[in-house]
């Protein structure tokens, strides 16, 4: 019988809003079983450490309990991860699913030696998947409201964000002032002003996506981008620029059916590429994207359903 549950409760571990919401969604899942007897278990405490959701840039406010932890030998969180590893070693017959949303803490490699540990990572690199196939690419939750997908789209493509990677500055160079618009902003002007839970969003950013047929999803400091689900939520077609990123739920989602991926070195060819799509091709991409978002990413319950399904299917 398929079942999912939690192990190793420890109230001393800091807990984020993200982890709290994730646990609530797991408990609502049809496979959930109370206690530690499930076939698939997650650590009850926060290994994800998602500090940029639901409030953009307000790291400390992401925590419901405790302060942002230190990732160093002997720290409470690192000791907790060691307990998770010990629990996996003690029960090799049970799958342990560890969620990590911190882009600079690389749990896929840390848990590689454990044959029954599956790591769902928010910034999974292709070389990590190659080294540890027991990995799932986890989506970052959007910080925008879902849109209707309707309305006239007068821009071919757009982007708004910080100049946190050379590929973003390269995108700025193809802004033609007409149908391709790229806004490089100071992120300090948005810190603490956007809150996905409270429904406080950047209306000008949402309006920019709503006006765009395509929306650029370039990497920043890390491989992943919150914009991926944000542009899907508003009905725009993602143009992904993040070489070496394993896209979220790649075992379950047919990304080429509704998105465009471009190598960093080919940015100058993007205008020609996007203008080559026919109206029928654009409609097909948008329809497939809207359907995928609704089925897989539309809320945390759907995300958790896909997550535990992939964890159940991975061959150990």
H or E element: which one contains 160?
strand 155-161
**Percent of the chain clearing pLDDT 70 (strictly above):** 99
Asked if 50 contacts 102 with a C-beta cutoff of 8 angstroms, the reply is: yes
Question: How confident is the model over 293-308, as pLDDT tens digits?
Answer: 999 999 999 999 999 9
Asked if 45 contacts 66 with a C-beta cutoff of 8 angstroms, the reply is: no
Give the pLDDT confidence score for residue 1 in this predicted structure.
Answer: 57
Model confidence band, residue 151 (pLDDT cutoffs 50, 70, 90): confident
Whether the bond into 63 is cis, omega within 30 of 0: no
Give the pLDDT confidence score for residue 221 in this predicted structure.
Answer: 94
Q: How many CB atoms lie within 10 A of CB 272?
A: 8
Is the pLDDT confidence value at 149 over 80?
no
Cβ neighbours for 193, distance < 8 A, ≥ 6 positions apart? 56, 200, 202
Model confidence band, residue 56 (pLDDT cutoffs 50, 70, 90): confident
Cβ neighbours for 31, distance < 8 A, ≥ 6 positions apart? 2, 3, 4, 38, 40, 308
- Which of 54-58, 72-76, 299-303 has the lowest average pLDDT? 54-58
Give the pLDDT confidence score for residue 72 in this predicted structure.
Answer: 86
Give the pLDDT confidence score for residue 201 in this predicted structure.
Answer: 83
Give the pLDDT confidence score for residue 18 in this predicted structure.
Answer: 96
Give the pLDDT confidence score for residue 59 in this predicted structure.
Answer: 82
Is the pLDDT confidence value at 146 over 90?
no
DSSP conformation letters of 217-243: EE--SSS--THHHHHHHTTPEEEEE-T
Model confidence band, residue 196 (pLDDT cutoffs 50, 70, 90): confident
> Which pTM was predicted?
0.94
The length of the chain in residues reads 316
Among left, alpha and beta (phi > 0; psi -120 to 50; other), residue 189 is alpha
Is the pLDDT confidence value at 191 over 80?
no
Model confidence band, residue 228 (pLDDT cutoffs 50, 70, 90): very high
- Across the range 26-44, mean pLDDT stands at 94
Residue given tokens 């398929």 in the structure block: 2
- Across the range 45-56, mean pLDDT stands at 92
Q: How far apart are CA 4 and CA 304, in angstroms?
A: 11
Domains in the chain with CATH codes: 4-140+300-313 (3.40.50), 155-297 (3.40.50.2000)
- Across the range 242-263, mean pLDDT stands at 98
**When comparing pLDDT for 36 and 128, which is higher?**
128
Is the pLDDT confidence value at 214 over 90?
yes
Residue given tokens 């896209």 in the structure block: 247
Output DSSP code: residue 195: B
Q: Which of 29-38, 141-150, 242-251 has the highest mean pLDDT?
A: 242-251
Strands (E), 29-131: 40-43, 63-65, 95-100, 117-121
- Tokens representing 243? 């070489």
Give the pLDDT confidence score for residue 103 in this predicted structure.
Answer: 92
Q: How far apart are CA 117 and CA 110, in angstroms?
A: 10
Is the pLDDT confidence value at 131 over 90?
yes
Question: How confident is the model over 262-283, as pLDDT tens digits?
Answer: 999 999 999 999 999 999 999 9
Q: In this structure, what is the dihedral angle of CA atoms 226, 227, 230, 236, given to the nearest 10 degrees?
A: -160
Give the pLDDT confidence score for residue 304 in this predicted structure.
Answer: 98
Is the pLDDT confidence value at 150 over 80?
no
- Across the range 54-67, mean pLDDT stands at 86
Of the CA atoms within 13 Å of residue 266, those in its CB half-sphere come to: 15
**When comparing pLDDT for 59 and 174, which is higher?**
174
Q: How far apart are CA 265 and CA 71, in angstroms?
A: 34
């Amino acid at each position: 019988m398929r079942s999912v549950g939690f192990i190793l409760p420890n109230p001393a571990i800091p807990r984020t809003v993200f982890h709290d919401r994730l646990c609530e969604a797991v408990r609502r899942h049809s496979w959930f079983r109370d206690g530690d007897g499930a076939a698939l278990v997650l650590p009850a405490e926060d290994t994800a450490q998602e500090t940029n959701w639901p409030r953009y840039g307000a790291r400390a406010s992401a925590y419901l309990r405790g302060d942002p932890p230190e990732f160093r030998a002997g720290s409470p969180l690192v000791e907790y991860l060691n307990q998770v590893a010990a629990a996996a070693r003690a029960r090799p017959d049970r799958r342990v699913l560890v969620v990590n949303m911190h882009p600079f803490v690389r749990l896929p490699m840390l848990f590689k030696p454990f044959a029954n540990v599956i790591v769902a990572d928010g910034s999974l690199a292709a070389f990590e998947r190659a080294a540890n196939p027991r990995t799932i690419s986890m989506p970052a939750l959007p910080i925008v409201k879902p849109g209707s997908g309707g309305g006239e789209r007068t821009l071919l493509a757009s982007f708004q964000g910080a100049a946190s990677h050379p590929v973003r500055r390269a995108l700025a160079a193809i802004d033609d002032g007409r149908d391709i618009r790229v806004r490089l902003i100071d992120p300090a002007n948005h810190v603490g002003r956007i809150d996905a839970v409270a429904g406080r969003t950047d209306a000008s950013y949402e309006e920019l996506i709503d006006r765009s047929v395509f929306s650029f999803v370039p990497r920043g400091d890390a491989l992943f981008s919150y914009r991926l689900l944000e542009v899907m939520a508003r009905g725009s077609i993602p143009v992904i620029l993040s070489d070496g990123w394993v896209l979220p739920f790649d075992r379950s989602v047919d990304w080429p059916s509704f998105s465009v991926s471009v190598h960093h070195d080919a940015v100058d060819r993007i205008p020609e590429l996007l203008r080559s799509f026919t109206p029928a091709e654009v409609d097909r991409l948008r329809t497939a994207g809207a359907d995928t978002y609704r089925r897989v990413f539309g809320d945390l319950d759907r995300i958790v359903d896909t997550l535990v399904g992939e964890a159940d299917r991975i061959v150990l």
